[in-house]
Chains A and B, each alone.
Chain A
Amino acid sequence: MKKMDSTTRLERLREAMGNGDIDKRDFLRLLGCAGITAGLSGGIMTSLATQARAAGTDLYFEGWGGVVSEALRKYAFDPYTKATGNKVIDSTFGGEKEVLTKIKAAGSTKGHNILHSSGVDWYMRWTKGGYGVKLDMSKIPNFDNVMESIVAPFKKITPGYLSAVPYDYGTTGIAYNTKHISKEEAEAQGANILLNPKYKGKIGGWGGDWANRAWFGALQSGQDPNNITDWNAVWAKVREMRGLVKKYWSSGAELMDLLASEEIWVTEAWSGRVAALQAQGHPIGYFDPKNGLAWMESMFVLKGSPMDESEQLLNFMLAPDTALAVAAGQKYPSSLDPTKVKMPESVTSLPAFDPTGKLASLVFRDPVKWNAVEKVQGRMWDRIKKGG
């Protein structure tokens, strides 16, 4: 750098001092005024909002957000509020573990009533943890339409009563980009396509759940996922796959984004999300490998919730019109029995949809086996993910 002309420089400095400071002060004053105005209006709005919801019982609902919440709000929560005067306050969680962390930290379920709970394993965890209730099914007449096959696994955990109503189901299969991988090629390889070195750097996987990783590790090492005997073989496959993966995604949105932008060509994927991608015209194929993972979601009522209101809400949600509208919105089939309730094409065409209502073709996780090993095996994935 060269020496500067000091006179110009000095002049510039002087000018900067003069102008800069005055502008700053005016600006400050204005920003102060703007701040006060905003604060006042915000305060007024807040107090108005508090007054507005004075009457009726509040029910706190937590779910997965997005179109699921939109559909629920439109078809279930709003009509419910209109009919009963009770309000449903819905918010989004990042996963049920987040809710459990909060409840555990706070020492009470205050402020948590109904969860959109995923998997029978979580049903088991909540009920065994003492967070469950006994629902009075006479107050939920629409429950009669729910498939017996989807209720059975829940009943097995809490014989004689339920703390939740099953609401929807789906699968975790393999999604692939049809521009780069043909249907025959993909389906011939099954779960092992995720270990094919040909696609190194183009493979994705769900990083958020150890049990999901282990399930695929079991498939790849040729074991029955519900009866794993050789955990070392499972984790060896998981390690092998890690070397080929470009990105472990952590949400359905990320999964969709990676597939749509072709950052990855093949990954395991949630059926509903793939259906959403296909509906948008992306060249994505999907299949469930042999023994692929299926799961069911329930509306779980937590201990300490206002029971009459909660049961009333569940009944609203299970009303065929509501349940089917929600199913079409979130792209996961409803838990209602297709042999009892007529389903529109928008629901019957969803992936994993089972027209028989028996769910015999789907393999669900055995919560007794999986929850028992979680403490030991659950950590393995966290380590392997980080190269350990």
Chain B
Amino acid sequence: MRAWTLIRFYTVFVYIFMFAPIAVVLILAFNKAEFASFPMTGFSLRWFERLFNDPTIMRAFRTSLTLGLMVSAISTTLGVMASIALVRYEFRGKDLMTTFLISPVLVPETVMAVGLLIFLRYLHMPRSFGLLLLGHSILALPFVVLVVQARLVGIKREYEEAARSLGANPLQTFFSVTLPLLLPAVFAGALFAFTISFDNITATLFWRPSGMETVPTQIFGMLRNSISPEINALGFVMISVTAGVPLLAGGLARYFGRKNRARHPTRSLT
């Protein structure tokens, strides 16, 4: 029992470490002064006002959202397929392939960005949204592979073999057995891919077409002038939206789910 308590305290400590900076961002969003610093000079909503009156940020937000969702779709699809090949099959050159799939992580982003640009020049292709999409997908792919692979290793093969022996074809087996078991990993991979795209700055600065801003590049532009609490206000809004929506949705789901489960008690066994 004592060990578990210790683990719990340790975890709480780590979460505090993770969230101290976030808390600071949230608090300073309401600071009155020009500078984001302590002690606070007063409570003010003026940074939010400025933020919401800034159409460029709203546009950047939409760009980032669209981009992130498309990136996570692409890289998760590619990543899951590759991971299944790597974990489920024995073949020659497997180690090499694993290394190869993870290799994009090794390339410093500046290098990757410039390299891809040089390559595009040879193809006579201008920078575009498509380049950002492909580039981000490549940046996210290794993470998806790593996450999904680690999960897949833990899934017992017997389940699949049982399904096969019961007459399911490989595709049926995948969709009815492997995929449900894999879903948490797929989800984690997709979320990872989304966040990597959503948070990327270094490569995006190079790849984005002129006039297109994502949230990080927009923030970067704001930072050039001053580290104003408006940025913290943006952080506040982003946290509220990204954490608030799922929390609310989760609460609602539980509410309806409980009703549902009461009607179909067997579901809770699966």
A residues sitting closer than 8 Å to B (CB atoms) are 1-2, 4-5, 8, 18, 22-31, 33-35, 38-39, 42-43, 45-46, 49, 58, 60, 62, 64-69, 89-92, 94, 98, 101-102, 105-108, 110-112, 251-254, 256-257, 260-261, 276, 280
Contact = CB atoms under 8 A, between A and B. Distances in A.
A60 B126 CA distance: 15
Contacts of A25: 183
Interface in B121-169: 121, 126-127
Interface residues of B, number: 51
Given A42-B66, A260-B35, A280-B34, A105 B220 contact: no
Given A23-B254, A65-B221, A102 B213 contact: no
Nearest to A19: B268
Contacts of A112: 210
Interface in B187-239: 187, 205-206, 209-213, 217, 220-227
A98 B250 contact: no
B65 A38 contact: yes
A28 B257 contact: no
A62 B210 contact: yes
Contact of A27 (B63, B206, B211, B250): B250
A49 B246 contact: no
Nearest to B241: A38
Q: SS class of chain B's interface: helix, strand, loop or mixed? A: helix
A28 B117 contact: no
A66 B205 contact: no
B253 A26 contact: yes
B118 interface: yes
B70 to A, nearest CB: 8
B3 interface: yes
B32 interface: no
B224 A35 contact: no
B245 A45 contact: no
B211 A60 contact: yes
A64 B224 contact: yes
B12 interface: no
Contacts of A276: 226
B59 A49 contact: yes
A202 B220 CA distance: 27
Given A24-B184, A38-B65, A106 B120 contact: yes
B114 interface: yes
Contacts of A256: 35, 226-227
B92 interface: no
A129 B183 CA distance: 54
Interface of B: 1-4, 6, 34-35, 37, 59, 62-63, 65-66, 69-70, 114, 117-118, 120-121, 126-127, 183-184, 187, 205-206, 209-213, 217, 220-227, 245-246, 249-250, 252-254, 257, 261, 268
- 4 closest residue pairs by CB, A with B: A66-B225, A92-B221, A89-B211, A105-B117
Nearest to B3: A1
Given A65-B225, A105-B118, 4 more contacts: A30-B253, A42-B69, A60-B211, A105-B206
B228 to A, nearest CB: 8
B96 to A, nearest CB: 30
Given A1-B2, A91-B211, A106-B127, A28 B224 contact: no
A60 B210 contact: yes
A58 B209 CA distance: 13
Contacts of A105: 114, 117-118, 120-121, 206
A372 B210 CA distance: 31
B187 A92 contact: no
10 contacts: A22-B257, A26-B250, A39-B69, A91-B217, A102-B127, A105-B121, A106-B120, A252-B226, A257-B35, A257-B226
A45 B63 CA distance: 9
A22 B270 CA distance: 9
A31 B246 contact: yes
A280 to B, nearest CB: 5
B3 A106 contact: no
B1 A2 contact: yes
